[in-house]
Amino acid sequence: TLWPVIAIDGPSASGKGSVAERVAKAFGFHYLDSGALYRLLAYAAYTQSVSWSDAAKLAVIVPSMDIRFEGGEVFLNGEHVSVHIRSEQMGKGASEVAVHPEVRTALLQTQRNFRKAPGLVGDGRDIGSVIFPDAALKVFLTAGVETRAQRRYDQLISRGDTADYETILEDLRQRDLRDTQRSSAPLKQLPDAMLVDTTKMNIVEAVDMIVEAFKKTA
Ligand code: C5P
């Protein structure tokens, strides 16, 4: 059986993670945070002194990674790495390793293995276009870049980090460019995707929209 997939793609800091997790909970589905896989690879490469531009070496690291998601926490080869991979540095590293087609191919099956009973909610950039093109529901979740920068800023401050709004804004603009302009699986709004713009919408409203839309596909 091919279990149903809800694909939620969109730019950095659009709230995909929080929304996807809640949609998954609403239906008792599994949740795939695909960005975490690219962050894990960036982190593994960093600890092994492999450059984020070295596609061949990066592709070799992928099969050596033992990745486990447990209760919202991420483990790499037994090490608890949630905090390490959530840094702005690893976000940047993720978007650099993600441009290589070799890396994307190496991570393809890992992502498809998350499709299990009774269903899956996956978030990322190419979940609806490449990983699960047969998804029952495709969502393009976005918000204006200033809104996303402000949310990322608030999030960093609330967890006690230091943050500079202008730096975050510039960083997001660069990451948007890298994610949308790359030749391999660029981020784009698919013609068959539902647009959810959260610039003037909160998480609960976005989740409700998606939950109702998925119910209509059944
Ligand atoms: O979603 P998150 O910010 O954790 O993703 C980090 C980076 O990983 C993104 O900027 C993007 O370049 C890359 N990514 C990707 N394809 C995905 C998920 C993330 O290229 N499906």
Residues 6+ apart with CB under 8 A from 175: 11, 12, 91, 92, 95
CB-based pocket (< 6 A), ligand 1: 12, 34-35, 38-39, 91, 94-95, 98, 124-127, 175, 179
Residue 218 is predicted with a pLDDT of: 78
Report which secondary-structure segment, H or E, holds 80: strand 79-80
Distance 218 CA to ligand 1 centre (A): 29
Residue 87 is predicted with a pLDDT of: 87
Cβ atoms of 123 and 9 within 8 Å: the answer is yes
Distance 103 CA to ligand 1 centre (A): 12
Residue nearest to atom 16 of ligand 1 (CA): 125
Residue nearest to atom 19 of ligand 1 (CA): 35
Handedness of CA 133, 29, 201, 15 (dihedral sign): negative
Q: What is the pLDDT of residues 149-191, one digit of tens each?
A: 999 999 889 989 889 999 999 999 999 999 999 999 999 999 9
CA dihedral 25, 85, 110, 176 (to 10 degrees): 90
Q: What is the pLDDT of residues 68-117, one digit of tens each?
A: 999 889 999 999 999 999 988 999 999 999 999 999 999 999 999 999 99
